[in-house]
Amino acid sequence: REAVGSDFDLMQEGNQRWNLEQCLELTPVLEELKFLWLEEPVSRRAEGGIEEYIKIGNTMPNVMVTGGESMRNRFEIKEWLDRGAYDIAQTDCIIVGVTENWYISRIADYNGRYCCPQNWHGGLGTIANAHLEAAIPNHLILELNQTYNDLLEGVFKDGLPVKDGYLDIPDRPGFGVEIVD
């Protein structure tokens, strides 16, 4: 926190690797350091997964709990949003499709939750997720993998249209980008 200052959003990815006890040791630190979110801290498939996410979230009144990146449709994530296990739905247009992710964003919005697509698969997914984020009222940020990957910008004739740190939504037909041959 000292290195980046108080205005810089910090996020912690868990990749469903920890158990509840480990998370409950970590959550006071994330709260103290004013993290924005804790992403997929424990396995959602384990028995009592929803309840564990709710417990984790209850220990952090100012840090949001996110998840859903491997869920495939609105029916899988609905209960998680309805019960408050996720503060942010992170389903991905590459996995669920743009229309299905729009439906998921509506369920999240109805529950007072954000939709911030998990965005880790490359340029086409980034453009699809960016268009979704621009079209929904409950967007927060667009997660973007900054690891070098030629499939991120190398698939486009003009690269990703980033201006002043923001991804500019192209207004040409379709997703507004041209793919290299």
> pLDDT for 79-138, tens place per residue?
999 999 999 999 999 999 999 999 999 999 999 999 999 998 889 999 999 999 999 999
pTM: 0.94
> Which residue has tokens 């993998």?
145
Structure tokens at 169: 């939504």
Strand, helix or coil for residue 37: strand
CA–CA separation, 133 vs 101, rounded Å? 10
What is residue 43's predicted lDDT score, i.e. its pLDDT? 97
* pLDDT for 158: 87
pLDDT above 80 (res 146): no
**For position 100, what pLDDT does the model report?**
98
User: Nearest CA to 82 among 105, 110, 57, 60?
Assistant: 110
For residues 154-173, give the mean pLDDT. 87
The reported pLDDT for the residue numbered 122 is 87
